[in-house]
Every structure is written in structure tokens, then in C-alpha cells.
Structure 1
């Protein structure tokens, strides 16, 4: 493992360090994906200093497959050198207890996740999304219980509003289990967390691990010449063709020119841009090959932006009409 390949950032006001670029095991670790390809990606991640692996109970397909793949492939001898995360909230089985943030569902889904992962604990457990039908006090108490029973080391939330994030942080602090991290979407095409959430996280001492920093592949050069066969947009997998608009393409072409001047690809620029804010602890990337992962991690080779570059990026977004 090359700990010098990329920088590590402190997660909020905790003692935990995370790599600037982390690996998300979403739909590249489901059934139907070659085991050798999955193993090669995980080994390349370790070679690149990626010590943080982000998973969820629903990741696959089918649901649970990503956790099971990680459990089969990852070398147990390296357990103490990595951070393994999972999440719960979304529907996992039929009936009233198969979804949501009730204590009943969350403790059951955590046990199932640990069994699939082959672990006795995860480093971070996230509430994957808020559940307004479950009192926030119950959600916080369940996270606290997970930590106190040793099955989870740190508590996190994902997709919570700024106000609800501040409230659950307060509740957890009162219980003696600080909120470690929030996981929201963030990219050049989705800048919503800049309005309030990042300020809340800074005030509460909570880290920020962002997902979709490449906007499901829009912030790459993949769609500049049309929608290629087999792409997410072509197949409607989490990115529909109607999102590949002339405005978005105009913005990406402008970014390509700025990126070239920095010696980067569009994807590398987009990742570096998300990391420009010190309140962002890490960006999550997926990978369909070791080569793609290596190219994404190369974003850390140039994380500094001039004022002129940042102004050019904002101007390009405004001119293309994609300012979020």
C-alpha cells in the first residue's frame, strides 16, 4: 500500500484521516461482474493509497451483492489498515420492518451487512437518508447503540438537510457519540451544499465525504461526441439521456479547455475542484477498471486552483446556463 500516493485529510474534528480520493463500491461490484476484475480494482485501490471503501446494504445488483463481494475478495490481513463503511435506511426486504430508520430495521440491517462483509464491525455506519416518520431521537439513539456495542466505530448520515444534520449532531453529542461525517452529493453540476450544509458541518466539526463528484459521468469526456453504446445514459442506468443536454455539453467542453491548461482531464479537474474546499474530506469515485481508478486518483497531483481558473469555471457554468 502506497501511503504517499495521495494526501489524507482529517474528517471534521475527529482523529480519523481519510484519503482525498476514496473508492465507492456501487454498481461495479454486483453479480455479473467478473470476480477477477473486482479483485484487480480493489488491489489497485490499495496500491494507490485508498484506505477508505464506501459500501451500502443495497449496493449490487442484486441488493447486498457489493458487501458480499467485498467480504469474499478483500484480504482480511489488511483489516486494520482500511476504513470500511456501510449504510442502512432503504428498502431491503418486504414488510413493515424492511426499511426506514427505526431501531428495529437499522439493527437488523446492520447485522445482515456484517454477515455479508464477514466482519465483526464497520468503521462508519451511515443513515443512508433521513426518515421523517421515525423520531430523530430514535435515529440518534440507534447510532449511539451501534457504537456502544462495538459493531460500529463512527456514526454518519447521508442526504440529510442542513437543519436535520445540525439537530442529529446535537442529539448525538448529548449521547456521547459525536457525528463523524455527512455524505451528500456534490459536483460542478450540483453545488447545493455550498448554500448551508458546508457551513453547518464546519460549525459542528463534522467531516464531508461527497458522492457523485463526476455527476454520473457527465463531468468526463465520455459524452462529448454523443451517447456511446453501453454507457449509463444509453442504458438509462442512474443517468438518463435527457440529462445530456446541449447546455451541459457546452459546459464540459469549456471545462476541457481549462483542464488542458492544468494538465488534467475533465474528470481530474472536476475531482480536484470538489476537493478545493478544505471542508470536503474526500471524494468518492467508482471504477470499472484499475486504469480508470488510477486516472481518477491522479487528480490529486494538481489540487491548487488560481483565482483566474476558478473564475473561468464559474463563468463557463453561467454562460452555459448550468449554474446550480
Structure 2
């Protein structure tokens, strides 16, 4: 059985996370999301695959070209991206990855230049598929056109924030983008798959109210959480399970990136995402929240008052 979500591994920093990787793999999961900027994540995944002898059985997606985390200077030159990509492949212990995404956009850089870099990644045998993360719909459309002009690879993935919570105020990280109606429309038009990062909104709907979920502390999001909790009680399911099932049924072009280093929590997510019995609760949730389930909104200054 194939699972309809990517395993997010930003928190997978030690071999103590091997049991969670085992749980995902044993349940049929084969799609793993990581990035060069995720600390030791790639190294840990590589060590786990080597120890388990399953190198080649996973579909690995990694990302590079992230801005410098100290100065936040852009790192989207061809040399920087190729260096990141080759380092990722080495740490993962593979010949190439299934998919490679540029982690941030640099709107001032011409898309033609970026198109040539993505083409080089495929030509050099580093990846089979390419995509972008934290790009706006107009920039994605422009990049697709640029790749077409040079007979480059097709864009497969666009990975932006998407969740039930509307992101507001200053984002925790610079340069992030939200998936909204314009990107959904473009995905259907161009046959793109939308990867939703942080679809659990940093644990906000599991009751997390600390700084990690700070961008989501708004009156509107409190209302959404209350509705989720109420619908979950009415249908005798957990809010976490209901949210997970909603995420995998929201749109045929959307695939969430769900992560947990705890096997028990991961087991709950695995069960929920494939549980058609939760669909009546999902329908109730969508009826209660209406358009809010399709457009989480972009990070803006509006709506930050708690």
C-alpha cells in the first residue's frame, strides 16, 4: 500500500529516529522529503537506508539553494545549487535523487537563468524531476515558459505552505509563500503536484500555543481550531486524525508533507490518511468552514491581533 503523503524529516537529526523511518516504510511509505538546510537529516536518512539495505527503494526529494541562514543572502547561482545538490546526493548515499527542488525564489533573478540551472541538474544525472519551493504562481508560470523555450525538464513539484490555519504576521522564516486558489488553478492547468509543507500548522491544531506556532495566533485561527475540535467530537475522532484526512482529500493536486519522529504519532497519521470512514467528518468540516478550507491566506500584517 502506497501512502498519499511525504514523510517530512526536518526533525530527523539522530539515529534515534530510525524507528519512525521504519514505521513509515513498513506501512508502505516510500516518499521522503528532506533538504540540504535540514541539519543532519540527509545524513541520517542515508545511514538508515544503508543499515536497512533499502537504498533504491525510496523516492527521495531534497532541496537546495536555500539562502544563507546568517545573512539571508540568496544562493541561487548555478554553482551554489549544483554544489548543494552534489553534497545532498553524497550524504544520502545514492547516485541521484528522484526529485530536486530549489528551496527559495530570488524574484530579481531572471527565470531563464534558473531554468538553465534546473536543466543542468537533470543533464548531470543528479535528479529525474525538478521543482521549486516557496514560489508565487506568476513566477512558477514564468519558469515553466522559460523551461519550454530551452527544451528543459518539466516542473513536477511546487512546495509552499498550506494548512487549515491562515498564516499571519511576520513568518518565522523569510521568503515563504502560501498555496492559494491561483496556484491550485495553475497546478490543474499545468499538471503540477503541490507539496504542502507544515500542513499541520506547526502543531497549532494539536493544541500547540508556543512560539513555534506563533504565526498562527489569530482570532480567525482560534475559530478554525474550535470548529475542528467540535466536528472531531461530534464524529468521535481525534482532531489530528481529522486534519490529516482533510489534508489528503482537499485537492487531487495536493500532497501534504507530514512529519513526526514518534512512531505512535506517525501510526495515527498513517491510519487517518487512508481512513475513508473519516470522510463524513471531513465533509462536515468543509461545510462549517467553507472557503477557509481552500485558501489559508498569505502571510500579511493583517489579522495578527490575538
Using the TM superposition, give the Cα deviation of residue 80 of structure 1 relative to its aligned residue in structure 2, in angstroms.
2.8
User: Among 37, 41, 64, which residue is 1:58 paired with?
Assistant: 37
CA contact (8 A) 2:98 2:127 kept: yes
TM-score norm. by structure 1 comes to: 0.78
Match of 1:239 in 2: 213
Residues 156-167 of structure 1: pairs in structure 2 closer than 5 A:
156-167=131-142
Using the TM superposition, give the Cα deviation of residue 243 of structure 1 relative to its aligned residue in structure 2, in angstroms.
4.2
CA distance in 1, matches of 2:296, 2:117: 38
Q: SS at 2:120's partner residue?
A: helix
CA distance in 2, matches of 1:245, 1:99: 31
Using the TM superposition, give the Cα deviation of residue 123 of structure 1 relative to its aligned residue in structure 2, in angstroms.
0.7
Which runs of 5 or more residues in structure 2 are unaligned? 168-177, 298-306
Match of 2:270 in 1: 297
Q: Deviations over 1:272-313 (max 9, x none)?
A: 222223333421111031111111122221363465442113
CA contact (8 A) 2:67 2:104 kept: no
TM-score norm. by structure 2 comes to: 0.82
CA distance in 2, matches of 1:154, 1:25: 20
User: Among 155, 172, 180, which residue is 1:194 paired with?
Assistant: 180
Match of 1:312 in 2: 288
Using the TM superposition, give the Cα deviation of residue 249 of structure 1 relative to its aligned residue in structure 2, in angstroms.
3.7
Using the TM superposition, give the Cα deviation of residue 195 of structure 1 relative to its aligned residue in structure 2, in angstroms.
2.3
Q: Deviations over 1:119-138 (max 9, x none)?
A: 21111100111112432111
CA distance in 1, matches of 2:81, 2:156: 18
CA distance in 1, matches of 2:20, 2:179: 30
Residues 99-138 of structure 1: pairs in structure 2 closer than 5 A:
99-138=74-113
Using the TM superposition, give the Cα deviation of residue 101 of structure 1 relative to its aligned residue in structure 2, in angstroms.
1.3
Which runs of 5 or more residues in structure 1 are unaligned? 9-18, 228-232
CA contact (8 A) 1:20 1:281 kept: no
Using the TM superposition, give the Cα deviation of residue 149 of structure 1 relative to its aligned residue in structure 2, in angstroms.
1.8
CA contact (8 A) 1:198 1:279 kept: no
CA contact (8 A) 2:163 2:296 kept: no
1:155 matched to 2:134: no
State the number of aligned residues: 281
